[in-house]
Homo-oligomer: A and B are copies of this chain.
Amino acid sequence: MNKGLLIVVSAPSGCGKGTILKEILKDERFYYSVSATTRDPREGEIDGVHYRFYSREKFEQLVSENIMLEHAEYCNNYYGTRGDIVEEMRNKGKDVILEIEVQGAMNVMKKCPDAVSIFILPPSVKELERRLRKRGTEEEEVIAERLSKALDEISHANQYKYIIVNNALEDAIDDFRAVIKAERLKAEYAGEILDEVVKNA
| Chain A residues engaging chain B, CB cutoff 8 angstroms | 119, 121-126, 147, 151, 154, 157-165, 174-175, 177-179, 181-183, 185-188, 190-191, 193-194, 196-201
Where chain A touches its partner, the secondary structure class is helix
User: Does B190 lie within 8 Å of A158, measured CB to CB?
Assistant: yes
What chain B residues lie within 8 Å of A183 (beta carbons)?
182
Give, as a whole number of angstroms, the nearest-CB distance from A74 to chain B: 25
What chain B residues lie within 8 Å of A175 (beta carbons)?
181, 185
User: Does A201 lie within 8 Å of B165, measured CB to CB?
Assistant: no
Q: Which 6 residue pairs across A and B have the least CB separation, nearest first?
A: A182-B182, A125-B201, A178-B181, A163-B190, A178-B178, A179-B182
User: Does B123 lie within 8 Å of A154, measured CB to CB?
Assistant: no
- Tell me the nearest residue of chain B to A175, going by C-beta: B185
What chain B residues lie within 8 Å of A154 (beta carbons)?
194, 197-198
